[in-house]
Amino acid sequence: MAAMHQKTRYNIKVAAKNGITTRVTNHPKDVDRFLKLMDETAGRDKFTQHDAPYLAKTLYTLSAAHMARLRVAELNGAMLAANLEVNYGNTYTYLYGASSSKIRKVMAPYALQWDAIRQAKAEGAKWYDFWGCNPESKATPLYKPSWDGITRFKLGWGAGRKCLIGTWDLPFNILMYHAVFFRRLMKPF
């Protein structure tokens, strides 16, 4: 906790004080609620996300192999935040996250991440990977203004940036790939 930003430590305490609870689930109703939260988050924060069937298939396929789980944060039964986490080897990766626009002052995403980090450590993981964030320089072509809040949130946990080559698509059908990509770009938030 010493490496965390002071505000992150404070927000973990705020979430606990407000009674935020967390749990791991793969129940279809919870997955549906997570997918709706993903849409809400993408619209609010203006980023493009994978569509719901892709996210659901990712969760169900990897969870069947004990490599993924859905963690939710709730207050009085209302889902306020959710993460899709993937584990491989000695690393847990925060792959996708969503949060509600309602009752933001209770800091549900902080309870969610703190629970995920502690569980990963308890299960023997060496690393907790927050995955993507903005590069340090705004002049870098890969910099995305829509990721400013995401980056600030992730760095607040004391995480260091590690620049890697990133993830890239290798399309087998270039015409179909461009058609799908174009459709996603045109999708309203």
> Per-residue pLDDT tens for 68-92?
999 999 999 999 999 999 999 999 9
Residue range 37-52: average pLDDT? 88
Domain extent for 80? 6-186
Q: What percent of the chain has pLDDT over 70?
A: 95
Residue position matching structure tokens 């933001």? 104
Count of structural domains, the chain? 1
Please tell me the distance from the alpha carbon of residue 120 to that of residue 123, in angstroms, as a whole number.
5
| 155 in any annotated domain | yes
Both tokens assigned to 48: 């493009």
Quote the CA–CA distance of 154 and 144 in Å, as a whole number.
15
CATH number, domain of 172, equals 3.40.630.30
CA dist 73 and 80 (Å) reads 6
CA distances to 4, 50, 179, 185 from 188, rounded to whole Å, are 36, 13, 16, 8
Residue 58 confidence (pLDDT): 95
Is 112 inside any structural domain?
A: yes
**Interval 79-132: pLDDT, tens:** 999 999 999 999 999 999 999 999 999 999 999 999 999 999 999 999 999 988
Residue type, 96: Y
Q: What is the pTM of this model?
A: 0.85
Per the domain annotation, does 1 fall within a domain? Answer: no
Alpha-carbon span 6 to 119, nearest angstrom: 22
pLDDT over threshold 80, residue 182: no
Residues facing 94 on adjacent strands: 85
Collapsed DSSP state (helix, strand, coil) of residue 32:
helix
pLDDT the model gives residue 189:
44
Tens of pLDDT along 2-36? 899 999 999 999 999 999 999 999 999 999 999 99
**H helices within 123-189, ranges in order?**
148-155, 174-186
